[in-house]
């Protein structure tokens, strides 16, 4: 497979880190971002050029713009944009969750995706190529008690992605991707020790990374799920 330039948010832990490792292992160039300065420094030290990792809070439009501008200047438009960054709140009935916490999860999980699209997709369109993967969830297609804000954000990602797919030029793709159930810090926040029954991110990535790399314009507007095996 021809080497691709991949922009990826939320690269320092969980699925984002596993995808970063998987993409790089397959010969692709990753330009990623996340909030944790120490972990970003560690990624830059570990992988080095041509890969590039930067501190960025996707909830902050100005921060995303700075990251996007620097990444585009370094490598040009991405062939693949993966909007992965997201947070989870501690499980609770909706009426017990603080307004500031609800605002934060909306800002990261929804606005963060919008910011990345705003500052990167025009360059992809100008380059005439690109696939945009917005990471969704099983809770973007179903619901559960005590995780209402997270469900709301991922249902929003599903709708946002389908609308975006209708706006993109022919030959592009926007895909909402349910990764499946993986043993991550986010899942442990909800399910505690029960999360250990599910695959670790590195094992998940052996299936997910090739699956994502196969996505193309034929998948535009589809709501997909990483195959379990």
For position 169, which CATH number holds?
3.40.50.720
Nearest residue to 210 (alpha-carbon basis) of 71, 19, 82, 37: 19
Question: Tokens 């439009």 belong to which residue?
Answer: 61
Q: Tell me whether residue 131 is exposed, middle or buried, using C-beta atoms within 10 angstroms of its C-beta: 0 to 12, 13 to 18, 19 or more.
A: buried
Kindly list the strands in the beta sheet with 29-34, ordered across the sheet, starting from the edge strand earlier in the chain. 52-55, 29-34, 5-9, 80-83, 131-135, 173-178, 223-225
Distance of CA 20 to the CA centre of its chain: 11
Percentage of residues in the chain having pLDDT higher than 90:
90
CB within 8 A of 162, min separation 6: which ones? 174, 176, 221, 223
Strand-pair partners of 9 = 33
From 23, 53, 150, 172, active-site residue: 150
d(CA 30, CA 45): 14
Q: Tens digit of pLDDT for each residue in 35-53?
A: 999 999 999 999 999 999 9
In three state form, how does the secondary structure of 112-144 look?
Answer: HHHHHHHHHHHHHHHHCCCEEEEECCHHHCCCC
Our answer to whether residue 150 is catalytic in this structure is: yes
Count of domains forming the chain: 1
Q: Give the pLDDT mean for 158-174.
A: 98
Residue 138's pLDDT band, with cuts at 50, 70 and 90, is: very high
Q: Tens digit of pLDDT for each residue in 41-94?
A: 999 999 999 999 999 999 999 999 999 999 999 999 999 999 999 999 999 999
Range of the domain at 170: 5-225
pTM: 0.96
């Amino acid at each position: 497979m021809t080497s691709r330039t991949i922009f990826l948010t939320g690269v320092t832990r969980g699925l984002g880190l596993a995808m970063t490792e998987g993409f790089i292992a397959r010969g692709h160039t990753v330009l990623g971002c996340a909030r944790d300065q120490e972990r970003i420094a560690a990624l830059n030290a570990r992988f080095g050029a041509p890969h590039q990792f930067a501190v960025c809070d996707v909830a902050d439009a100005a921060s995303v713009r700075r990251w996007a501008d620097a990444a585009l200047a370094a490598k040009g438009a991405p062939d693949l944009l993966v909007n992965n960054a997201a947070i989870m709140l501690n499980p609770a009935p909706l009426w017990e969750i603080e307004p500031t916490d609800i605002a934060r999860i909306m800002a990261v999980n929804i606005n963060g995706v919008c910011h990345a699209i705003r500052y990167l997709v025009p360059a992809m369109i100008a380059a005439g190529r690109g696939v945009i993967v917005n990471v969704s969830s099983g809770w973007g297609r179903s619901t559960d008690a005590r995780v209402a804000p997270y469900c709301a954000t991922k249902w929003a990602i599903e709708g946002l992605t389908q609308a975006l797919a209708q706006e993109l030029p022919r030959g592009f793709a926007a895909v909402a991707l349910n990764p499946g159930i993986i043993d991550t810090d986010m899942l442990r926040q909800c399910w505690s020790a029960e999360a250990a029954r599910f695959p670790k991110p590195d094992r998940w990535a052996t299936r997910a990374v090739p699956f994502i790399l196969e996505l193309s314009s034929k998948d535009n507007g589809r709501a997909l799920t990483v195959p379990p095996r």
